[in-house]
Amino acid sequence: MELFRTTFVAAASRRARTRSYGDRGGWVQALITAAALLAVSTASFFTTAVAAQAQDRPVKLVVFGDSLSAGLGLPANEAFPAKLARALKAKGLVVDIADAGVSGDTTSGGLGRLEWSVPDGTDGVIVELGANDALRGVDPKITRAALDQILRRLRDRGMEVLLAGMKAPRNLGEGYARGFDAIYPELARAHGVLLYPFFLDGVVTDAKLNQRDGLHPNAQGVDVIVGRILPKVEELVTRVRAKSRS
């Protein structure tokens, strides 16, 4: 009521200054003007309130990957999703992260479980798959096709994506490595998703950052991964927030 009263008085005052003698519709016009202004103000208020509410709710992320992101050999609170959540919180970002990593999973396996591993309502997905494909020497065409479908389905569901790249072991030959490594940047460009070129960057060749198997990062290795990928995850969150404002 106070908003209406203030708007009405202001409109009426402006009309009173400009109307001439015999202008009997002046007050009616003032009332119409005030009502219109009130409608605009109310719509603007609710639009702002809805946008603010969308910005306040946690961004829902899913880490969709294999043992590298699931934290094989580590306590749950030392695994990648948990440490990433803490790093984002330290940045002041309100984010919920679900761990959808399955040890031993390939890109084809991920494609098969995509719908139930990434539930409706998810805002963004970090896709970390392909290491097991490379270790098993899977044809890069099969890996590419599976990842292509994963990205396509996630984007069709309106989810923002960060694709975490992988590199093939060099002992599989130059040709295999070249074909495999190219999958990630090419698919990221094709689907317009964010790319972190190599999930194990800075970790894979450092024995101090890996467990005894030489394949999986230890807690210190996870810290390195989180620190390096964090700017890209922040960019993912920014994309989600921008979409909620539009």
Residues labelled as active-site residues = 67, 213, 216
Phi, psi for 158 (deg, rounded to 5): 80, 20
Instruction: Count CB neighbours of 121 within 10 A.
Output: 8
**70 close to 102: Cβ distance less than 8 angstroms:** yes
Angle subtended by helix axes 140-156 and 183-191, to nearest 10: 20
Count Cβ atoms within 10 A of the Cβ of residue 175 and give its class: 0-12 exposed, 13-18 middle, 19 or more buried.
Answer: exposed
Going from the C-alpha of 47 to that of each of 27, 29, 30, the distances in angstroms are 30, 27, 26
Q: Alpha-carbon distance 63 to 191, whole Å? A: 18
User: What are the residues facing 61 on neighbouring strands?
Assistant: 97, 124
**59 close to 94: Cβ distance less than 8 angstroms:** yes
Q: Alpha-carbon distance 158 to 142, whole Å? A: 25
**4 close to 38: Cβ distance less than 8 angstroms:** yes
